[in-house]
Amino acid sequence: MRRPTLPALLALACIALAGCGGGSKPGGPPAALLSPAKLTAQAPALFTATFKTTKGTFAVEVHRTWAPHGADRFYNLVKAGFFNGDKFFRVVPGFVVQFGISPFPKVSAAWHAATIPDDPTVSHNTVGAVTFASAGPGTRTTQIFINLGSNTQLDATFAPFGTVTSGLGVVQKLYSGYGDAPTPQQSEMETQGNAWLEQHYPKLDAIETASLSRG
């Protein structure tokens, strides 16, 4: 994971701004999440992931031809339960929703250097497009953003791998009162997990479960 993921590149793009159950699991994360090198299955050409959140449910349809490396990584993360309990730590209306820092510090540590190669941009960062965040070339790991506006100025750097096909209204009503405030504090999120977010940003919405609906 990288901090910050988008801000530096967004400044260059002249964006106007001032990576199993919900919540932290007392039993710890699934063991598979501690071994990123083993989670490398090829994704189906087309599949859907369903996210049940504290605000409702939305679905993401993934097209592997759009961004093969991104689609494969997303497929493996969802299948292994990476996003379960994950907080939406960045919600900027009209811009993006960002998530993908594990609730568990030891999982964040395991994935810190588990980068994937960049994909060329085939689709566009329009409303509902789902894309891996990064801090520059070759740095994509687990953080994801969903476009809430037409952000095609990001196409030169960020390659969407899917799109929200149902429940976009759910994504748009995720708690946005903190805006970008948590974003620069990603090292705290990574080293302390959800416990830190719940202490400092208690109103954030979260993913209860993420599962593969097809494929």
For residue 115, the model assigns a pLDDT of: 98
Residue 35 lies in a domain: no
Residue pLDDT, tens place only, 35-48: 999 999 999 999 99
For residue 27, the model assigns a pLDDT of: 64
Distance CA 43, CA 63 (A): 9
Residue 176 lies in a domain: yes
User: pLDDT higher for 24 or 79?
Assistant: 79
Nearest Cα neighbor of 161 from 139, 126, 127, 132 is 132
Residue 53 lies in a domain: yes
Residue 41 lies in a domain: no
CA distances from 156 to 4, 120, 198 (A): 18, 8, 35
Residue 206 lies in a domain: yes
Which residue has 């409702």 as its token pair?
A: 56
Distance CA 62, CA 172 (A): 20
Residue 37 lies in a domain: no
Instruction: Name the strand (E) or helix (H) holding 48.
Output: strand 46-53
Model pTM score: 0.88
Nearest Cα neighbor of 163 from 141, 143, 147, 140 is 147
Q: How confident is the model at residue 25 (pLDDT cuts 50, 70, 90)?
A: very low
For residue 202, the model assigns a pLDDT of: 98
Nearest Cα neighbor of 86 from 215, 207, 212 is 207
Residue pLDDT, tens place only, 164-185: 999 999 999 999 999 999 999 9
Residue 192 lies in a domain: yes
Confidence check: pLDDT of 17 > 60: no
Tell me the three state secondary structure of residue 176: coil
Query: Could you tell me the CATH number of the domain that includes residue 168?
Result: 2.40.100.10
Domain count, the chain: 1
For residue 199, the model assigns a pLDDT of: 97
Q: Which domain holds residue 80?
A: 47-214
